[in-house]
Amino acid sequence: MSMSDRKRLLSNMASLFTLQGANYVLPLVTLPYLVRVLGPEKFGLIAFAQAFIQYFVVATDYGFNLSATREVAVHRNNPQKLGEIISAVMAIKTLLALAGAAILGAFTLMVPTFHQQWPLYLVVYLTVAGATLFPAWLFQGLERMRDITWMNMATRLLTTAAIFIFVHNPQDYVLAAAIQSLPVLLAAVPAWWVLRKARSITWQLPQSKAMHVQIKSSWHVFLSTAAINVYTSSNTFVLGLIAGPVAVGYFSAANKVVQATVGLLSPISQTIYPHIAQIAIRSREETINFIRKSLFYMSTFGLALSAILFIWASAVIRIVLGDSFLPSVPILQWLSLFPFILALNNIYGMQTLLPLGLKKLFTKSVAISATVDIILLYPLVSSYGADGAAITMLTTEIVLFGIYTVFHYSNGIYLISFPQIKKAI
């Protein structure tokens, strides 16, 4: 890797760490306040609504956060082609968001449970609007993450302050949900203003042929991300249907602590993905060597985070959530392995199979593990409640790693190489 490439990667990684701090750490600052003010039931209602709306977020993203990022990384020096990609992706995302709004409207009108909480689902749907309009995939592909860091920081700080100023009792739960749904949407305006000034992009109207190409190229990634959603949002959603909002409150509170920790890995993942996509164009051997080094660093970091969560689970729950959330301690311990196993799965899956052109295997891997999740979820949640949801999630991720490993060896991909690890050190 050249010195300029190394500097660019480190710069993007530093920006993403700042960005992830805004995305995960700042909400973690409000978490102790929200769980105490709202209580497990109202906090659980918000988490249930967010889990349901996440289906629409996944549908609207349509895998573009991976597929379009790769396309942008490959064609970023071609203004005409880049403009074609941007217009096609944004047109598709907008149509999907509008279709999702219509479906949500039908749900809130026809299903009594949803109709009772229709204002809550309406404000949480602002998350979909933000996911549609904020072009994180474009900035990642252009490796210009520094440009949007300040935007996200500003909106996250603003909404964090708003939580403390406007949310004071359990009856403010809809307002709390609305504030939490706004940051990405607010950041979209300055993001597009920055892009508008970029001379390297030729802006154009979307063409149906280009949209068809993007839909086709993103299909396998979309299926895989949709399957992943089965054992993320669906676990919360099904838990709410079976055990009620209080159980969801305990589970979601512990899961938010874990996700904030896992968020520390995201800057590394998001930084190296477009870089690996570029290397894969010229050399498979060079690509695998770089992935091996990334595996060593990410897995080591992930293991350290997992150990911290498991050992100090009780202290973390007491400090962050309070004594009323002590039932979340065993849930956090079950989920504590997530930083480590997710680091492995990220490298074995997204960072390896996709850049090497093995989209179908990536989709197949996640589909199989999602099936395992569906099979385990109902009996485990029925028997063990929120703990069962956590056990299901962990088992699914372990199964996914096993499937990735099998597909790697069947395709001659060997990431574990002791000489390479020694060299990385």
Give the DSSP letter string of 151-203.
HHHHHHHHHHHHHHHH--SGGGHHHHHHHHHSHHHHHHHHHHHHHHT-TT---
pLDDT at 65 over 90: no
Neighbours of 126 (CB within 10 A): 20
Residue 2 CB neighbour total at 10 angstroms: 7
- For the residues 197-214, what does the mean pLDDT come to? 77
- pLDDT score at 310: 96
Residue-level pLDDT at 157:
86
Question: With 50 as the cut, is the pLDDT of residue 275 above it?
Answer: yes
Query: Quick one: pLDDT band at residue 421, thresholds 50, 70, 90?
Result: very low
> Three-state DSSP class for 367?
helix
Q: In terms of pLDDT, which residue wins out, 81 or 251?
A: 251
Confidence (pLDDT) at 362: 86
- Name the range with the highest mean pLDDT among 170-174, 350-354, 361-365: 170-174
Short-list 180, 194, 211, CA closest to 138? 194
* Distance from C-alpha of 18 to C-alpha of 15, rounded to nearest angstrom: 5
Question: What does the mean pLDDT of the chain come to?
Answer: 84
Interacting residues of 304 by C-beta distance below 8 A, sequence separation 6+:
none
Q: Is the pLDDT of residue 26 over 80?
A: no
Query: Rounded to the nearest 5 degrees, what angle is found at the Cα of 36, between the Cα atoms of 32 and 37?
Result: 115
The pLDDT of residue 3: 56
Which segment of 83-97, 121-135, 252-266, 334-348 scores lowest on mean pLDDT?
252-266
Is 353:412 a contact under the CB 8 Å cutoff?
A: no
Where residue 219 falls among pLDDT bands split at 50, 70, 90? confident
Lowest mean pLDDT among 130-144, 172-186, 195-209: 195-209
pLDDT of residue 308: 95
- Helices and strands counted in the chain (H then E): 22, 0
Helix locations, 283-327, DSSP H? 284-311, 313-320
Number of domains in the chain: 1
Residue 422: pLDDT band (50, 70, 90) is: very low
pLDDT-derived band at 4 (thresholds 50, 70, 90) equals low
- Rounded to whole angstroms, the Cα distance separating 27 from 157 reads 9
pLDDT above 50 for 418? no
Looking at per-residue pLDDT, the higher value among 422 and 348 belongs to 348
Question: Mean pLDDT throughout 226-230?
Answer: 71
pLDDT for the residue numbered 2: 56
pLDDT of residue 7: 60
**CA angle centred on 185, ends 183 and 191, rounded to 5°:** 100
Reported as a pLDDT band with limits 50, 70 and 90, residue 419 is: very low
What is residue 38's predicted lDDT score, i.e. its pLDDT? 92
pLDDT of residue 217: 81
Residue 95 has pLDDT above 80, yes or no: yes
As a whole number, mean pLDDT of residues 316-335 equals 92
- Taking the CB of residue 80, how many other CB atoms lie within 10 A of it? 10
Structure confidence at residue 314 as a pLDDT band (50, 70, 90): very high
CA–CA distance from 244 to each of 45, 106, 110, 148 (Å)?
A: 9, 23, 20, 38
pLDDT number for residue 66: 74
- Mean pLDDT of all residues in 401-413: 92
- Range in 126-140, 195-209, 310-324 the model is least confident about: 195-209
Structural domain span for residue 158: 3-424
Tell me the per-residue pLDDT of 235-272, one tens digit each, with 9 for 90 and over: 888 898 898 889 999 999 999 899 888 877 877 777 77
Confidence band of 16 (pLDDT split at 50, 70, 90) = low
C-alpha dist (Å) from residue 148 to 19, 173, 302: 8, 29, 26
